[in-house]
A = this chain, B = another copy of it.
Amino acid sequence: MLQKVLIANRGEIAVRVIRACHELGLRTVAIFSEADRHAMHVYYADEAYSVGQAQAKDSYLNIEKILNVAKMSEVDAVHPGYGFLAENHEFAQACIDAGLIFIGPMPHAIATMGDKVVARSTMRKAGVPVVPGTEGESNLRDDEILAIASKIGFPLLIKSAAGGGGKGMRRVNDKSMMMNALSEARRESAAAFGNDSVYLEKLIQGARHIEFQIIADNYGNVIHLGERECSIQRRHQKLLEEAPSVILSDDIGLRTKMGEIACLAARSVDYVNAGTVEFLLDEDRNYYFLEMNTRLQVEHPVTEIVTGVDIVKEQIRIARNRRLSRQQHEIELKGWAIECRINAEDSYSDFIPSIGTINTNIVPTGPGVRVDTGVYPGYTISPHYDSMISKVICSGKTRGEALLRMRRALEEYRIVGVKTTIPFHQKLLNSHRFMAGQFNTSFVDEDFSLGGRSDTDDEIAAVFAALAAHQYRQQAAYVVQRGKRDASNWKWVGRWERMHR
């Protein structure tokens, strides 16, 4: 019986999973680090237990502590979310050994796909086309890699075998850069994953990142829920995703083919539960297996909206040993959905993380708008975890409607206290190439600039600033007059004076 679930995660995804459990009538257990006592997932769960200090390795990555909580709170199952332990096959195995249901694939599937080098060779054997690069061998020495690099040709990518999220990844344009990039990639990889093994991939120019959502039950049924277009990336970090893809919407045959290949990839590792098969699609519409993420994906909501399948509920259904609720022919992509990741980063200062307390948090609402978030007014963004504040997902009958709705939603969103990526998304939505669907994975890094302003509201900005300056000036004068020492006002006086030196 699956009646009580521990969510081994934090932030928006912990909240997302708790919501699905509540809607299924399941009891939920949250875990939290000392830095997260005030996090939303702690409030929303039925039970909540501390698992240690703020640093992830002492809490959210501490398998022993988490399993102790699972035992003590007598849960039946564990949902890992994404990140942290979600793709750690030892954690999955430890859950199973403790008699718990791990809501995800079997450890061997996680392990196979987790080592990107092994995954590539497994896929190649199964008949799935992979990006050209190093073949079959793990733990290559520098000299071996250099020799292979020349065969593959430049530009190419050095990638971490244990990798993910762009860590330990380097682009190499010519042979002279190779040694330097290799040692950097090894160092970063070792720091991030405790493993400095790397491999090479040919850099496919002008490629799109297209991924397929897979679900599979314990009875050998594997279906896909269509594709997501995730080419809007900055330094290999996804920023905006949509479902379906502009390309595959015009080429149903290609969608069918890629979907079948994605299912084949999943079958080749006896995949169970939800997962994502990532492809690169080049300008000639050749597709190459990139990697498989053996977990729930950040961007799963866009697929939920166009297919009507609640993926988290489906994960739990599969974990309960039920058959998939639908067959492939019942999956129809209807309408369009777009997700913008709102991060606590300064769009105007090279996306540097922004720490602070969110004072105002008015989320956009109304028709066709979904927000998945783990923050609320009064919540403090800490430096310990990732910078995601929320995901805004907008949908409509057409891509156009979804885009216009997203524009409207971002304009309504009010976050005060930290800088966010909202301005970036607003700019992106106004870019003609994005609107036309003409972009690839290098678009944001190479062809897009935040500088160009969409409006020429210089005059309005001038009035805003003059009015604010006037107000502070008067307040400052008032404070000085009254001879009161109010710290917050003195700060303004100080600033005022500094600005007028």
Contacts and interface: CB of A to CB of B under 8 A. Distances in A.
A301 B401 CA distance: 17
A241 B494 CA distance: 56
Interface in A391-407: 397, 401, 404-405, 407
A366 interface: yes
A373 interface: yes
B408 A19 contact: yes
Contacts of A401: 23
Contacts of A44: 412
Interface in A56-91: none
Contacts of A22: 404, 407-408, 411
Contacts of A365: 363, 370-373
A376 B362 contact: yes
Contacts of A407: 22
A142 interface: no
A98 B284 CA distance: 58
Contact of A25 (B20, B372, B404): B404
A16 interface: yes
Given A301-B367, A370-B367, A377 B404 contact: no
B366 A15 contact: yes
A166 interface: no
Interface centre among A16, A366, A370, A371 (most CB of B within 10 A): A366
Interface in A16-68: 16, 19-20, 22-25, 44
Q: How large is the interface on A (under 10, 10 to 19, 20 to 34, 35 or more residues)?
A: 35 or more
Contacts of A412: 44
Nearest to A411: B22
Interface centre among A365, A371, A372, A404 (most CB of B within 10 A): A365
Contacts of A370: 365-367, 369
Contact of A335 (B301, B308, B371): B308
Interface string A223-253: 0000000000000000000000000000000
Given A370-B369, A377-B360, A23 B310 contact: no
Interface string A438-461: 000000000000000000000000
Contacts of A335: 308
Interface string A197-209: 0000000000000
Nearest to A376: B362
Contacts of A16: 366-367
Interface in A178-211: none
A360 B359 CA distance: 11
A19 B377 contact: no
A270 interface: no
Interface string A291-308: 000000000010010001
A132 to B, nearest CB: 39
A405 B335 CA distance: 22
Contacts of A377: 360, 362, 377
Interface centre among A25, A304, A376 (most CB of B within 10 A): A376
Nearest to A406: B23
A39 to B, nearest CB: 13
Contacts of A404: 22-25
14 contacts: A15-B366, A16-B366, A22-B411, A24-B404, A25-B404, A44-B412, A304-B367, A310-B368, A362-B376, A362-B377, A363-B365, A366-B372, A369-B370, A377-B377
